[in-house]
Amino acid sequence: MKNKGVFLAAILTAVLCISGNVFAVLSGGGTEANPYLIQSRTDFDEFANPANSTIYWASGVYTKLMCDPNLSGTTYTQAVIAPDTNTSSGFQGTQFTGVFDGNSHTISNLTITASTQDYIGLFGYVGSSGQISNLGVKNVNITGREYVGGLVGYSNSGTLIACYATGSVSGTDTVGGLVGLYAYGTLTSCYATGLVSGGYRVGGLVGYRSSGEITSCYATGSVSGTDWYVGGLVGANSGTLTSCYATGSVSGTNDYVGGLAGYNNSGTLIACYATGSVTGTGTYIGGLVGRNISGTSTSCFWDKETSGQPTSDGGTGKTTAEMKTLSTFTGAGWDFASVWAMPLGQYPVLFLRQMGDLNSDARVDMQDFAILAANWLEGI
C-alpha cells in the first residue's frame, strides 16, 4: 500500500509539471465575497503568470491587492498581465476579463521595453467584463509600438475606476498615459501625470477613445507627438468627456493638436477645460480642441494666455484671471456641490469636498465658518 501511494504521488507530480499549475495557490476563493489575495511579490508573479490565466483572469473571478509590489530590477518585454503572444496583426493572447481591486495599493517601478510589440502596459488587453479599480502604477517606464498605456494597452468594453499612472510612456501609435486605446466601457475618476510621447493618436490620459464615457478624469503630464491627433487628455476622441481637464504642455509636428483633445470626431465634451501650452507646426492647432468634426463642446474653456492659443475648434477662451474665477464656471452650470472645487487663486480641481467646505475652495477655514454663522442667524 505504501508503494502504491508513492506511485500515485509521482503520477500527480508529473501531471502538474506537464500541465502547469492547475490549482490556485493564492489565498481566497476568487469570489466577490472571498477574492483571491495578492499579499507579496511572489503572489503577484503567480497572478501575472499566463499559465494561470484560466484561474485568475477569467470573467467573474475577483482578485484583491493587499500589498505594494515593487517591480524594480525586472525588465519586461511584453505586458505583465494579459500580453499579446506574437507580433502579427490583432491580439493573440488571453484577455483579462476578471475583476481586479487594487484596494488603494500601488505597483511601482514597472519597466517594459517592447518597441516592436503591441498591447503594452501593466495589463495588455482588458476585455468585456474586465474591471480594474483603486489601483496606482507609479514610476512606470514603458516603451511599446501600438496600443501602449501606463496601466492598460487596450481596453475593449472594460471598466476603470479610481486608477492612476505616473512615469513615462512612449510608443508609435495609440499611446496614452493611462490607456492606449479605450473602446466603449467607462473610465471614471482616473488620472495620469507622466510624460507621454509617440507618433499617431497620443494623449496624456488616453491615446484614442472610440466610444463610451470618460468622467471626472485629468492629466497633467507633457504630451508630444510626431503624427496626427495629439491632445493633453485624449489624442483622438469619439466618446463623451464629462468634467475632465488637462494641464500639461502639448506639442505636435503634424496636424490636429489640442490642449484637451487633438481631434474630436462626433464626440461630446461637457464641463471640461485645458490650460497647458499648445504648439504645433501643422494645421488645426487649438487651445482646447485641434479639430472638431460633428462633435459638441458644452460649457468648456481653455486658458488663452497659458496655452498661447487664441483659438480652438470648440470651447470658450478665457484669460488666466477668468479661469481662476469661480463665477466663470458656476455661470456655465458646473457642479461645485459634488464634482468640482475651486482652491483660492487656482484653477478648478476634481475634489471630494471636505465636510464643512461651504464655499467650494477645497479647504475648511474661517470663511466657511462665517457662511455657517450667517446662515444660522438667518435661520437657513
Average pLDDT rounded to a whole number, residues 340-358: 76
DSSP 8-state symbol, 48? H
CATH topology of domain 2-378: Pectate Lyase C-like (2.160.20)
Average pLDDT rounded to a whole number, residues 11-21: 34
Per-residue pLDDT band at 12 (split at 50, 70, 90): very low
Asked if 119 and 91 touch (Cβ cutoff 8 Å), the reply is: yes
pLDDT at 5: 42
Residue of 132, 33, 52, 65 whose CA lies nearest to 94: 52
Q: Is the pLDDT of residue 365 over 90?
A: no
Question: Residues 241-268: pLDDT tens digits?
Answer: 999 999 999 999 999 999 999 999 999 9
Q: Is the pLDDT of residue 299 over 90?
A: yes
Q: Where are the domains of the chain?
A: 2-378
Asked if 198 and 173 touch (Cβ cutoff 8 Å), the reply is: yes
For residue 165, give the 3-state DSSP assignment: strand
Q: Is the pTM of this model over 0.85?
A: yes
Q: How far apart are CA 335 and CA 316, in angstroms?
A: 18
Q: Is the pLDDT of residue 147 over 80?
A: yes
Asked if 320 and 305 touch (Cβ cutoff 8 Å), the reply is: yes
Backbone angles phi, psi at 171, to 5 degrees: -170, -170
Q: How far apart are CA 43 and CA 238, in angstroms?
A: 39
Average pLDDT rounded to a whole number, residues 307-331: 98
62-71, 86-95, 152-161, 162-171, range with the lowest pLDDT: 86-95
Alpha carbon distances (Å) from 278 to 218, 222, 315, 326, 349: 17, 10, 15, 24, 21
Asked if 217 and 244 touch (Cβ cutoff 8 Å), the reply is: yes
pLDDT at 2: 40
For 149-171, the DSSP string reads: ESSEEEEES-EEEEEEEEEEEE-
